[in-house]
Amino acid sequence: MKNILIIFFSVFLTSFIFGQEIDQKRVISKIDSTNSKELVLIQEFIVNVPIDSVWNAFTTKRGWESWAVSIAAIDFKINGLIQTNYNKDGKIGDAATITLHILNYVPRRMITLQAEITKNFPEFMKEDEKDLYNVILFEALDVSKIKVTSFGIGYKNNQKYKSLMEFFIKGNAQSYLNLISYLETGKPSVKY
């Protein structure tokens, strides 16, 4: 995102819950391809809470500010926006704002996002902006056990994107570990 969420998820920080390291194996990452010209970044994890808790973390201002960013503005609807800023002294709309377009969603099942590629992204991504999407699936395995799978779609199968995948995998995985900690303990492993 983008995962392109990318997205929100580009942070390299150390994770601890009450002094214990979070199990890094909770987030599984792999790169696949839709065809030989594109890469798909797939990241998945299971979290032990009800679906409403997970859904709210992805769709509300309070949710985003609890696990992902310092500041968020959410207009959650088809053609709505998720705007975020990691800088606690910043504001929505400044140069550090990340804007995600909500293309569609199925409540508590799926969200499709597309990020605006700003100057904070590598230059080569700008020409591919229209091809980059993040599809997030939510699957209830039990009433309090939810599998979340994120598909970062549209990355080109070339050396520039392959190098970028390493950055996205680490950053997104850290963000997801922060989300797991927030949902299961009430406290993110890192506070923005």
In a domain, 20, yes or no: no
In a domain, 84, yes or no: yes
- Supply the pLDDT for residue 34: 64
In a domain, 55, yes or no: yes
- Average pLDDT rounded to a whole number, residues 145-172: 93
Distance, C-alpha 128 to centroid of its chain: 19
Residues 161, 127: Cα–Cα separation, whole Å:
13
One-character DSSP codes across 35-103:
ETTEEEEEEEEEESS-HHHHHHHHHSHHHHHHHT-SEEEEE-STTEEEEEES-TT--TTSTT-EEEEEE
CATH of the domain at 123: 3.30.530.20
Residues 60, 69: Cα–Cα separation, whole Å:
12
- Average pLDDT rounded to a whole number, residues 104-133: 93
Higher-pLDDT residue of 102 and 7 is: 102
In a domain, 15, yes or no: no
Number of domains in the chain: 1
- Average pLDDT rounded to a whole number, residues 106-121: 93
Higher-pLDDT residue of 23 and 64 is: 64
The whole model's pTM is what? Answer: 0.84
In a domain, 36, yes or no: yes
Question: What are the pLDDT digits (tens) for 12-55?
Answer: 322 333 333 445 589 999 998 766 789 999 999 999 999 999 99
* Structural domain harbouring 93: 2-10+27-185
* Mean model confidence pLDDT for the chain: 86
Higher-pLDDT residue of 16 and 144 is: 144
pLDDT for residue 189 is more than 90: no
- Supply the pLDDT for residue 112: 98
In a domain, 177, yes or no: yes
In a domain, 192, yes or no: no
In a domain, 138, yes or no: yes
In a 13 Å sphere around the CA of 55, the CA atoms on its Cβ side amount to: 15
Residue 122 neighbours by CB under 8 Å, 6+ apart: 160, 164
